[in-house]
Structure formats: structure tokens, C-alpha cells
């Protein structure tokens, strides 16, 4: 058990987190690390994506990735983007820095509940910034001030610990049961088709035999050379070779705003001649190109 992690959780979540951490420590290879308190959406995603694994709660994304790097967990599951609120902050920096390989993805519908010790009215609601963003309209219409917390279930545990009847939390419904709160409203998210994509990471990439006969996604990052039309030229190879790029996002590397990195998903895998040619052309027009993983599609694109 890592005391630096457990001591970061709110009191009501501490006992549950400790029990899960002790179980994972007894069989680290089966453990799957996630960010958040027991009952968080990432906890649910871990148990659904890997039903036979031992969920290991970690206080931050860095802690969850470090658990895999340190051998305290065989895998980690991390949310990377939400259909309503975009990419999860800092993930594009953390994944490449971790040195881990993406070995899977999991898409999970997200539903939030408003929960509290009392019946309201409520002055404020705590939750993860993603959940607050996904429930912005619900909160604004009721004059409830959104307050950021490190994870959804942790916010529920914190509200239970405070015992303030004027403060609520937005979290998965199971968190109310775990921490003794009352559900005030279900499905408070602003969009009914709210979906989060998670990626699963491990120290080693998937072996080639695990990829045979499946529709595959390859994720990579690249930084183009600082010359005119470099991005156009770097991407041209995917078009001319018929490789479908399903995701392309830019982000700034460092505080100088001089180096723009791109995060991309394509359908296919290295070893396919068309993919190899496209990646080779992209690399030729880039300062850096790094593969983050090839893995089976969790959901068909297009």
C-alpha cells in the first residue's frame, strides 16, 4: 500500500481505497490503476473494461501511470476525451512522458447524479472539472456554483465528510451509496449521449499475435519542422496511401509556444505497407514522430 496516495483521499473514501490497494498489492500483475476515489467513473471503467482485474485507486493521473511503471499494477486506465467536453487536461503531455504503451481503448456512457447530505437548496456543487463542464446548464439554471475537485467520487466523499447541507456533489450514482449521500437528481449531464473514451496502458506493447484479425488503431505524436506547409506535407501521405486519420489534435509543448505537437489516431497498424509509407512520409517532414501504441478498436469509427 502506498501511504502517500491513500492519505490524499477524503476520509470516507480512505477505508475503501485502502482495501482496494491492499488487494492489488497482493497480486500486482492483475491490478489496473485508475485516477480517483472508489466509485469514480474511472473505477467503473476499470471494472467494465477488465472484469477480472483488481482496481487500484490512485489520487492523480501521474500516480496511476507511476503504478504501472513501478510494477504495482499491470495496467492503467485513463480517460482521454469526452464527447461533450473535449480532451481531458494534461493527458496529451502525460501519456508520451510516461513511456507506457497504449494496449486498448474503452468507450463508456457517462451519467452524473447530484447528491448531498440534505435536500437543498444548494449554494455550490463539487466535482471534477470535466463533470462540471458536462453539467454546466443544469448548474446554471439552479444558481449552483461549480467548485472543482480532483475526481467525482472524491467530491462525493468530501461532501459527506463536510456534512454541509448547502453543498452538493456531482458524481456517479454509486458514489451516493458508497458514501451515504442522498441522490437529489439523476442524469444531470447536459447531453444524453455523453460518452468518454478511455485508453488502457501497460509497460509492453501488445504482441503481434494479439492484433491478428482485428480492426486496429495506432496512436502517435509528432512535431512538424518549422517550415511553410510542413503540416500539409506531413499529412499528405495518409491521404495518398488511403489511411484514415480519425483524430488530430494540436497542443503546445513548453511555455514558449514555439513547438506545436500533434496527437493523432489512424486506422491500421505498422507492418501494413500503406501505413508504413504514410508514417515514413510524416516522419520525413517532422522533427519527431513517436508511436504510443497499436491496439484493437473499442468502437468502430465512421
In this prediction the pTM is 0.88
**Can you count the helices (H) and strands (E) in the chain?**
11, 15
274-302 pLDDT tens trace: 999 999 999 999 999 999 999 999 998 86
What backbone torsions phi and psi does residue 130 show, to the nearest 5 degrees? -65, -45
By C-alpha distance, which of 24, 23, 40 is closest to 32?
24
- In this chain, the answer to whether the domains covering 3-109+195-202 and 211-296 adopt an identical fold is no
Q: What CATH number labels 3-109+195-202? A: 3.40.190.10
- Confidence grade of residue 202 (pLDDT, cut at 50, 70, 90): very high
Which residues carry out catalysis?
196, 198
Pick the CATH number of 113-185 from 3.30.70.20, 3.40.190.10, 2.40.70.10, 3.40.50.720: 3.40.190.10
pLDDT for 96 beyond 90: no
Q: Residue 177 has what DSSP assignment?
A: H
CB 293 within 8 A of CB 264: no
pLDDT for 116 beyond 60: yes
CATH class of 211-296: alpha beta
* Every domain of the chain and the residues it spans: 3-109+195-202, 113-185, 211-296
**Of 5 and 209, the one with more pLDDT:** 209
233-279 pLDDT tens trace: 999 999 999 999 999 998 877 666 666 889 999 999 999 999 999 99
By C-alpha distance, which of 161, 117, 168 is closest to 142?
168
Percent of the chain with pLDDT over 70: 95
By C-alpha distance, which of 88, 108, 114, 129 is closest to 175?
114
Extract the runs of DSSP E, i.e. beta strands, from 110-252.
113-116, 124-127, 145-148, 167-171, 182-185, 195-202, 216-224, 245-252
48-76 pLDDT tens trace: 999 999 999 998 899 999 999 999 999 99
At 256 the pLDDT is 61
pLDDT for 223 beyond 90: yes
Cell matching residue 73: 499494477
Extract the runs of DSSP E, i.e. beta strands, from the chain.
31-35, 54-58, 75-82, 86-87, 101-109, 113-116, 124-127, 145-148, 167-171, 182-185, 195-202, 216-224, 245-252, 260-267, 286-296
CA–CA dist 96, 98 (Å, integer): 5
Amino acid at each position: 500500500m502506498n501511504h502517500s496516495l491513500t492519505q490524499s483521499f477524503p476520509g470516507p473514501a480512505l477505508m475503501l481505497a485502502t482495501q482496494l490497494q491492499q488487494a492489488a498489492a497482493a497480486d500486482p500483475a492483475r491490478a489496473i490503476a485508475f485516477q480517483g476515489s472508489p466509485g469514480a467513473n474511472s473505477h467503473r471503467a476499470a471494472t467494465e473494461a477488465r472484469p477480472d482485474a483488481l482496481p487500484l485507486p490512485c489520487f492523480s493521473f501521474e500516480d496511476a501511470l507511476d503504478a504501472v511503471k513501478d510494477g504495482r499494477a499491470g495496467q492503467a486506465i485513463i480517460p482521454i476525451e469526452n464527447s461533450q467536453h473535449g480532451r481531458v487536461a494534461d493527458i496529451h503531455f502525460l501519456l508520451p512522458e510516461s513511456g507506457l504503451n497504449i494496449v486498448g481503448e474503452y468507450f463508456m456512457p457517462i451519467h452524473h447524479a447530484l447528491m448531498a447530505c440534505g435536500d437543498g437548496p444548494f449554494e455550490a456543487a463539487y466535482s471534477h472539472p470535466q463533470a462540471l463542464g458536462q453539467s454546466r446548464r443544469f448548474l446554471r439554471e439552479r444558481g449552483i456554483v461549480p467548485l472543482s475537485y480532483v475526481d467525482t467520487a472524491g467530491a462525493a466523499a468530501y461532501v459527506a465528510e463536510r456534512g454541509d447541507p448547502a453543498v452538493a456533489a456531482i458524481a456517479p450514482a454509486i458514489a451516493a451509496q458508497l458514501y451515504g449521500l442522498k441522490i437529489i437528481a439523476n442524469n444531470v449531464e447536459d447531453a444524453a449521449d455523453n460518452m468518454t473514451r478511455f485508453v488502457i496502458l501497460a509497460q509492453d506493447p501488445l504482441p503481434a499475435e494479439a492484433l491478428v484479425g482485428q480492426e486496429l488503431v495506432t496512436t502517435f505524436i509528432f512535431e512538424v519542422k518549422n517550415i511553410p506547409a510542413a503540416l500539409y506535407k506531413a499529412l499528405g501521405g495518409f491521404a495518398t496511401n488511403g489511411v484514415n486519420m480519425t483524430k488530430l489534435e494540436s497542443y503546445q509543448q513548453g511555455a514558449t509556444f514555439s513547438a506545436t505537437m500533434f496527437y493523432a489516431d489512424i486506422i491500421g497498424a505498422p507492418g501494413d505497407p500503406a501505413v508504413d509509407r504514410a508514417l515514413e512520409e510524416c516522419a520525413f517532414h517532422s522533427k519527431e514522430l513517436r508511436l504510443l501504441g497499436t491496439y484493437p478498436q473499442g468502437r468502430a469509427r465512421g
